[in-house]
Chain A
Amino acid sequence: MGNLHSLNAVKQSVNKAKGLPNEHYVDKDVFVQEQRTVLYKSWAGLGFGKDVPEPGDARPVEFLGIPLLMMRDHDGQVGVFQNTCRHRGMILITEPKKLRNTVRCPYHSWCYSLKGDLRATPHVGGPGHNTHEDIKPSELGLIRIRSYVWHDVVFINLSGDAEEFEQEHAGLLDRWKEFDQPMYHGGESSSFRLDVSTNWKLAVENYCESYHLPWIHPGLNTYSRLEDHYDIQEPGAFSGQGTHVYRQLTGDGDDQTFTDFQGLSDKWDTAAEYIAIYPNVLLGVHRDHFFAIVLEPVSFDKTIEHIELYYAVDPEKQPEQLAMRDANATLWKSVFKEDIGVVEGMQRGRHGIFFDGGKFSPIMDGPTHNFHHWVALKIEAAGSDSSDLAT
């Protein structure tokens, strides 16, 4: 793990700071330590509500090797649980499925409700005896993982001790309060993933700066120049970039556009914002569509980007816009693919033993440094916290 000296260098002002040392990108042990100090202790993105769209839907999800289960109960609420029976630790659900009202362990048939309550312990007291004085169902429900759903992104706090999501992210919730309204997933083409050979943090760092746009996304240069962008930073929470010149996609051969979200202020006629909500969720808002990217850290040098696009109107009510939604998804996919070379290149570059973490542009790299600073503080805070996650 980075020694205090190297992390002190990260915590200086952007003018003087160095970036996180190489081991935070290329060392397997540091990756494991960061899981516990950064990802477990924060509200991390796990998945999407659209993956369990209806009551009874259950989907197993792995997060940093931990088997979890997303379920939607009959009240319509998404819950996240450890996907492990409380009896002998058996994995409960191995593939997405529709449950009726019960999660039944395939091993000894212990049964749980969709809210995680233990409902049956067959033969636990002997054949035909389904109770035992030392088996207390109220103490043996599924382990619920603290979760929060915002804009259909399912966030989890594994450590259980982060501030409430609405407090932790009050700044961004307030900044984007106009978008606090129904959004509808765009359908099959609006869902895609990119497998990238890079540390998850490099995907965050690249996303939240506009400095690279003219070189990596030259298609923007004609209508969204570097000077049309502005930095967004909230210390300890999020950072990113905005543009003053968002241009709506139009249909082929006509001026048809996507329906705008309701009641937006004039700012959003031509603005769009792209913010990384720490640690691992990247979001984009526009007057007529929204996207979310959950970065899944697979290993120190592998990340899966799960990307979903949403619109103001249920696509089933606008079938005539299918081609436009497909085109929009294709456009964003091409933009995100343009970033792959540089994030993978930075990952390879971090093996350069003489690289000292790097030097930030005081003007252009504020959002990136804001993230490095947050990571450094998280690591230091965990260093002084001796609590064990599992106790």
Chain B
Amino acid sequence: MDDAKLQAELLLAHEKQDFETLSTLYSKAAFQLEASNDIDAACFYWTHAFVFALDADLDEAVAILSHKLASYGRL
């Protein structure tokens, strides 16, 4: 995961209040962390992805992310 690139993209999306992009970026980061078995960090990012999916009214993403968090006992 290119941390610097992700950080830059996240900051830009935060500045623009682009919740759909924020949800996508946090989710992408979370899945990468899950792949490297860092579950706590992954769940942290999935939480953010979930919140921004709620704010952006992305029903499908909300369903996927809540299921993922629930699968780890985090929701």
A residues whose Cβ falls under 8 Å from a Cβ of B = 100-102, 104, 109, 111, 119-120, 122-123, 127-131
Contact = CB atoms under 8 A, between A and B. Distances in A.
A129 B54 CA distance: 17
B51 A131 contact: no
B44 A100 contact: no
B47 interface: yes
Given A120-B50, A122-B51, A129 B57 contact: no
B9 interface: no
B54 A111 contact: yes
B55 A127 contact: no
B54 A119 contact: yes
A73 to B, nearest CB: 13
B18 interface: no
Interface of B: 40-44, 46-48, 50-51, 54-57, 69, 74-75
Given A129-B74, A130-B69, A130-B74, A122 B47 contact: yes
Nearest to B43: A128
B48 A122 contact: yes
A100 B74 contact: no
22 contacts: A100-B55, A100-B57, A102-B55, A104-B51, A104-B55, A111-B51, A119-B54, A120-B54, A122-B47, A122-B48, A127-B44, A128-B40, A128-B41, A128-B43, A128-B46, A128-B74, A129-B43, A130-B47, A130-B50, A130-B69, A131-B74, A131-B75
Contact of A102 (B46, B48, B57, B75): B57
A140 B5 CA distance: 38
Contacts of A127: 40, 44
Contacts of A100: 55-57
Contacts of A128: 40-44, 46-47, 74
B43 A122 contact: no
Nearest to B59: A101
A122 B51 CA distance: 7
Contacts of A104: 51, 54-55
A101 B47 CA distance: 18
A128 B72 CA distance: 10
Closest 5 CB pairs of A and B: A128-B43, A100-B57, A128-B44, A101-B57, A102-B54
Given A102-B57, A128-B74, A129-B74, A109 B51 contact: yes
